[in-house]
Amino acid sequence: MMGWMHAPMEAVRRLLDLRHRGRAEDLPAVLMHAAPLLGAETAGVLLIDYGQLDLCPLQGTTPEAAEPRPVLDTPAGHCFTTATESWLDDPEGGRLWLPLLHGAERLGVLELGVKAYPSDEARHDLETIAALVAELIASRRFYGDAVERTRRRLPMQLAAEIIWNQLPPLTCAVDGTVVTAVLEPCYDVGGDAFDYAANGDILHVGLFDTVGHGIDASSLTTLSLNTYRNARRSGLGLADTYRSIDKWIRARHPGKFVTALLAELDTATGRYQRISAGHPAELLLRGGRRSPALPAPNALPLGLGAMINRPPQVVEQQLEPGDTLVLYTDGITEARDASGALFGPERLSEFVLDAMERGYSAAELMRRLVHAIISYEAGELRDDATAAMIQWHH
């Protein structure tokens, strides 16, 4: 057998062949054949489902290995939630899990069956393989439906299909600044959405909450998102972006409206600007405490802007290193328990501050938050619930 130094390179070559001729569903078979080259007996891909509750074998995995692993209380789940390796020793051979990260986006884990815990050098090579596998999944996912079918544990409603197809990756990290988001109900969301873009030193973030639900709401959300992107890519400032979205909603959906937060953060200086279009104020968390809320709303909801004859107000805040902003739709704070008590901004602040104290990453914090909201409403959300977090660490 070829030496260790050459074997991983042969595995890399086999995987790279998928760039030109392979589908995502071909990856499990290629990985299994390449496993001996990596000092492993088995190798497989587990992708996170839409609800972020289970890690599911990628379509194309052999049936005997095709069992989902819960995120809660499993080594595979620990690898996913912490984005660090997990190891399970077993008399018949150990198992190693490595995170599959595309940038800051958590795709799932790479699961390896090995006879013994790998050496430092071998582990470094396996981490490189995991990074390559993540890149292949990200690049091949749109050429077929294997990744989407793997991630769906329930049928997805058409309105949700439309929304998810509009969204960027849930998590992005650029030069010490992290933005991450969650949406629920993930299989039936219709009126909530978010977007972001990092252009130079400016991080643009938009959070949208459309009146209504279902196909009509998703159509209005789609128009809002794409008008937002068009304005941003045309170089418009926040006020003119507001006007553009407002104009198109009035033209195409008269009488309907969308509440939104339209924000820009200068990641070099911490200068934060935003317009609240009929939307709840974001939370500003600083030094382990909740700071006073920024004025909100400071403009009418998008689609109703013509009702007053003045430009939208842009609010500005100077951030400090380590500050966290939490943007949310009212489905988060207006969640109700069995007694009718609202979840509310205070409980939201306490949850986020406690999770930060425990050291959870931004993406993991958001995952736990949305499941806390679902649990608070006993598993039945009354409204779409979306939240986005911005952490500035300049």
Domain ranges of the chain: 7-151, 158-392
pLDDT digits (tens, 9 = 90+) for 9-58: 899 999 999 888 778 999 999 999 999 999 999 999 999 999 999 999 99
Q: Does domain 158-392 have CATH number 3.60.40.10?
A: yes
Low-confidence ranges of the chain (pLDDT < 50): 1-5
Q: Domain 7-151, what architecture?
A: 2-Layer Sandwich (3.30)
Q: How far apart are CA 161 and CA 147, in angstroms?
A: 14
Q: Where do the H-state alpha helices sit in 58-213?
A: 75-82, 120-140, 146-151, 158-164
pTM, two decimals, is: 0.94
- Tokens (6 digits) for 61: 């995995």
Q: How far apart are CA 313 and CA 50, in angstroms?
A: 37
Predicted local confidence at residue 64, as pLDDT: 57
Predicted local confidence at residue 3, as pLDDT: 44
Fold match flag (7-151 vs 158-392): no
Q: How far apart are CA 170 and CA 105, in angstroms?
A: 7
